[in-house]
């Protein structure tokens, strides 16, 4: 008859096994955390690159539109100057003097007494009503909520922010060329001023002046979001 016996592992071997399992679990946790950190960093970088690309495309289109408008204005000015230099005044002529025939004065007749005349009373005409106004009311600009959406999309509402390439500046991400083009007619004192050096009020006014000329088109992506707000 055989007697079954239970073999128990040595206490030292169990401790080593537990230590190995703990070390493996720790390394696995560290690897998982490091991998998560790398993924989050890569995602943040990808989002930043996408935002830069979006802003670059928006302002490239805005600069192109500003350049086209400036070229059209210069062409029109040249045409007006050409028309002015080629137009001459018609020569003036002097009319020949005329000789009036002599007049004969008839003898005066004796005065007669005219019967008194009765003047009819005058009536005051009713004032004419002004004609109805036919001019259509002016369109209103964007609402404060729409401006806020545009600023948050373009610059997170930061009036001193600069894009990574240094080209687009301020809350509305003006390029210097677009800023100077709008300022030349809307606010000449701001020509040559760095957009981020201008006050928030001046930046708001310049954005409105640009919107009055071109609507939301200078902000092809963020303008869509603002228009829908």
Confirm whether 23 is domain-assigned.
no
Cβ neighbours for 219, distance < 8 A, ≥ 6 positions apart: 58, 62, 150, 153, 154, 172, 226
58 within domain boundaries: no
Within-domain flag for 7: no
| d(C-alpha 148, C-alpha 171), whole Å | 10
Residues 6+ apart with CB under 8 A from 68: none
Neighbours of 67 (CB within 10 A): 13
175 inside domain: yes
Structural domain contains residue 194: yes
The conformation of residue 103, written as its DSSP 8-state character, comes to: -
pLDDT of residue 158: 97
Q: What is residue 22's predicted lDDT score, i.e. its pLDDT?
A: 86
Number of structural domains found in the chain: 1
* CATH number of the domain bearing residue 176: 1.10.530.10
With beta carbons less than 8 A apart as the criterion, state whether 155 and 172 touch. yes
Decide if 58 contacts 221 (C-beta within 8 A). Answer: yes
Q: What angle do CA 185, 187, 190 make, to 5 degrees?
A: 120
User: Is the Cα torsion angle 156, 157, 158, 159 positive or negative in sign?
Assistant: positive
Q: What is the pTM of this model?
A: 0.44
Q: Which of 145, 135, 149, 142 is nearest to 209 (CA)?
A: 142
Taking the C-alpha atoms of residue 221 and residue 150, their distance in angstroms, rounded to an integer, is: 9
Residuewise pLDDT in 10s, the chain (229 residues): 455 555 556 667 777 787 888 888 888 999 999 999 998 988 888 787 878 878 878 878 877 777 777 766 667 766 666 665 544 444 444 444 444 444 444 444 444 334 444 444 444 444 444 333 333 333 468 999 999 999 999 999 999 999 999 999 999 999 999 999 999 999 999 999 999 999 999 999 999 999 999 999 999 999 999 999 8
CB atoms near residue 148 (< 10 Å): 14
**Has residue 97 been placed in a domain?**
no
Return the pLDDT at 80.
63
Tell me whether residue 45 is in a domain: no
Domain holding 202, by residue range, is: 144-228
Distances (CA, A) of 89 to 84, 125, 128: 11, 46, 42
Token reading at 175: 């390029």
- Could you give the count of Cα atoms lying within 13 Å of 221 in the half-sphere of its Cβ? 16
Domain membership flag for residue 65: no
Q: In the prediction, which pLDDT does 133 show?
A: 34
> DSSP letter at 211?
H
pLDDT at 8: 59
């Amino acid at each position: 008859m055989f007697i079954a016996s239970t073999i128990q592992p040595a206490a030292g071997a169990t401790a080593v096994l537990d230590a190995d399992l703990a070390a493996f679990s720790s390394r696995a946790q560290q690897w998982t955390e490091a991998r998560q950190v790398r993924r989050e960093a890569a995602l943040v970088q990808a989002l930043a690159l996408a935002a830069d690309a979006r802003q670059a495309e928006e302002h490239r289109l805005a600069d192109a539109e500003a350049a086209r408008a400036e070229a059209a204005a210069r062409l029109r000015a040249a045409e007006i100057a050409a028309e002015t230099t080629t137009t001459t005044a018609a020569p003036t002529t002097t009319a020949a003097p005329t000789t009036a025939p002599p007049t004969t004065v008839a003898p005066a007749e004796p005065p007669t007494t005219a019967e008194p005349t009765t003047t009819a009373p005058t009536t005051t005409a009713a004032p004419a009503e002004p004609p109805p106004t036919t001019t259509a009311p002016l369109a209103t600009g964007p609402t404060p909520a729409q401006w806020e959406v545009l600023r948050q999309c373009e610059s997170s509402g930061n009036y001193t922010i600069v894009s990574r390439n240094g080209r687009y500046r301020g809350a509305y991400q003006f390029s210097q060329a677009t800023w100077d083009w709008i300022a030349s007619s809307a606010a000449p004192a701001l020509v040559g001023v760095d957009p981020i050096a201008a006050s928030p009020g001046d930046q708001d006014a310049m954005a409105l002046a640009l919107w009055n000329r071109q609507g939301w088109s200078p902000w092809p992506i963020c303008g869509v979001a603002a228009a829908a707000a």
